[in-house]
Chain A
Amino acid sequence: MATAQTDPHARSNFWKWFDAFRRAPGMWAYALNRLSAIGLTVYLFMHLIVLRTLTEGPQAYDDFVALVKSPVFVFGELVVVIGGVYHGLNGLRVALTAFGIGVPYQKHMFYAVLIITAVVSLVFGIHMFTA
Chain B
Amino acid sequence: MAEKWTVTFLINRQKDGVEPHFESFQLEVNPDEYVLDAIERVWAFHDRSLLFRHACHHSTCGACGMRVNGVEKLTCITTIRSVTSDGGTVKVEPLRNFPVVGDLVVDMTRLYARMEMVKAPSVIPLDEAPKPDTSVFDIKPDHDAPDDMIRLVDCIECGMCVSACPVPLTTPEYLGPAVLAGAHLRGLDNNPSLLELVDGPNGVWRCHSAFECTAVCPSNVEPGWRIMDLRKQVVKKRFQRLFGRGG
Contacts and interface: CB of A to CB of B under 8 A. Distances in A.
Interface residues of B, number: 40
Contacts of A97: 209, 228
Interface string A14-54: 00110101111011011000000000000000000000000
Given A27-B212, A106-B209, A106-B211, A8 B70 contact: no
Contacts of B26: 1
B20 interface: yes
B232 A8 contact: no
B215 interface: yes
A26 B19 contact: no
A16 B170 CA distance: 10
Interface footprint category on A: 20 to 34
Interface of B: 10, 12, 19-26, 46-47, 69-71, 91, 93, 96, 141-144, 164, 166, 169-170, 208-212, 214-215, 224-225, 228-229, 231-232, 235
A104 B143 contact: yes
B141 A104 contact: yes
Interface of B is mostly: mixed
Given A3-B23, A13-B170, 10 more contacts: A1-B25, A2-B23, A2-B24, A8-B21, A23-B215, A26-B210, A98-B209, A103-B224, A104-B144, A106-B224
Query: Which of B22, B25, B47, B142 has the largest number of chain A CB atoms within 10 A?
Result: B22
B95 to A, nearest CB: 13
A26 B212 contact: yes
Nearest to B22: A5
A4 interface: yes
